[in-house]
Structure formats: structure tokens, C-alpha cells
Amino acid sequence: MDIIEGRNPVIEALRSGRHITRILVESNIEKHGIIGQILQLASSSHIEVEFTDRHTLTRYSSTGSDQGVIAIAESKKYLGLEDLLEISRKKAEAPFYLLLDGIEDPRNLGAILRTADASGVHGVIIRERRAVGITPAVIKASAGAVEYIAVARVNNISQAILTLKKNNIWVTGLDMSGKIDYTEVDYRLPTAIVIGNEGKGLSDLVTQRCDTIVSIPMKGKISSLNASVAAALVMYEAFQQRRKAAG
């Protein structure tokens, strides 16, 4: 089961139709605004709501910021690469994916999922080992976006890249070593963008298998951006190019 903490994540889980078994609400919380909407949606969906004390919510919470409401839901199902390709076919759009080569910070993954949903990414591919998965902290950091973005989990990112390339998808890695400005790539083509680990960047094999390596120009004394910020810049460049092309 997934523990969904916080007002926005819970209401988006309800809106998305996620199968929720129970909602815990702090008994003395004011029942208006988003809390009121949560209660109304839960009632219309015949979901059990339990009013409880702060101690019980704290016991369920792993983020420490439940905002007085927690939903207990069926775990989000990971997809396979073929599922993502099918999503693109159904959208009748050039594929647009994001691969994460070992993101470990749940706040980074949550922020990346939020931007991926906002920028029209068809699916996010994460690594099964030595990387963060869909945890309560990731769900909270995504502000509910995890309910709408498809996430595939694979054993090996470099092998996933080969599979995507066999499906005529252009793979662009983001790394400080890149000699090409990230804005100079044509993201209107079938595209997969690869973001590396927060500390190590892209692994050597992943770098070798990318079609091109790009970088973000830097002017200050700090040598790199936070992984979620860097990912957001590239995703939105791709989004802008595709939006303009669509007219």
C-alpha cells in the first residue's frame, strides 16, 4: 500500500481515480477549503474517512508534513517500456521520455515528476537499484503529479536506451561534459532525455550510448545545478519547441 500524505497529494489521488481504501483526517482540523473538498470527494466515491488524533497521523507519516490528512491507497504500479511506447502511440505524438540514471533524493524525484507532468513528458523511466522509487516522500514532493505521470522501472538504464533507440527515439544525455548547448537539440523528434545521479552524473556506459551529450551554460562560480532544476530546464526547452511546432 502507498501512504499519501498532505492535502494536494491526497486530493489529486482522489481526482485521478486511484483506488484509496481509507483516509485519515485529524479530528480537530477545520473542514473547509481543500480539506472540505477531500471530504466531499471521499464521500462521493464511498471512501471511508476516519477522524483521528495527531498521534495516529504521526505514526503513519514518514515525511513529517502530513498537513492533517493521510490517504492509504493501493501502490502505484510501475509500467514497462512497451507501455510507455503505447502511451505515445495513443497520444499520436512523437515520443517524449525522461530517463533517470540513479536519482537518489526523493525530493528531486518528486520535483522531476511534477515538471514532467507539466511539460508533457509521456513517461519517466527510473532505475530499480541504487535509486529512489515511488515513496511517500516522493509522492509528497510531487504535489500529486505522481498520479498522472507514467513511471517505468527497469533493471538497466543503458539497456533501456538501446531499446528506445531501436524504436527510433533520439537519446540526449545531460552532463557537464557536454559540448553542445541543451537548446541546440531538436526535441521535436522522438526524444528521450537522460538525467544523471545527483553526485556522479551519467554513468560511463549510459554516456556512451546516448546519441548526444548536452550541457547547460553556467556563468557563476557554482559548477552545476540541482538535478531537478537541470531536468526542468531541458524538459521545458523540449516543451516549448514542441508547443511552437504544434502551432
pTM comes to 0.91
CATH architecture of the domain formed by 2-73: 2-Layer Sandwich (3.30)
At the fourth CATH level, which superfamily is domain 81-246? SPOUT methyltransferase, trefoil knot domain (3.40.1280.10)
Residue type, 78: Y
Separation of alpha carbons 10 and 12, rounded Å = 5
Residue 58's H or E segment, with its range, is helix 54-60
Query: Where does CATH 3.40.1280.10 sit in the chain?
Result: 81-246
DSSP symbol at 221: S
Query: Where does CATH 3.30.1330.30 sit in the chain?
Result: 2-73
CB-based contact 78:153 (threshold 8 Å): yes
In tens digits, the chain (247 residues) has pLDDT values of 899 999 999 999 999 999 999 999 999 999 889 999 999 999 999 999 999 999 999 999 988 889 999 999 998 899 999 999 999 999 999 999 999 999 999 999 999 999 999 999 999 999 998 899 999 999 999 999 999 999 999 999 999 999 999 999 999 999 988 999 999 999 999 999 999 999 888 999 999 999 999 999 988 777 778 999 999 999 999 999 999 998 7
CB-based contact 93:188 (threshold 8 Å): no
> Under DSSP, is residue 61 helix (H, G, I), strand (E, B) or coil?
coil
Query: pLDDT tens across 36-95, in order?
Result: 999 999 999 999 999 999 999 999 998 888 999 999 999 889 999 999 999 999 999 999
Please report the pLDDT score of residue 221 as a whole number. 76
Taking Cα atoms as reference points, which of 84, 94, 72 lies closest to residue 4?
72
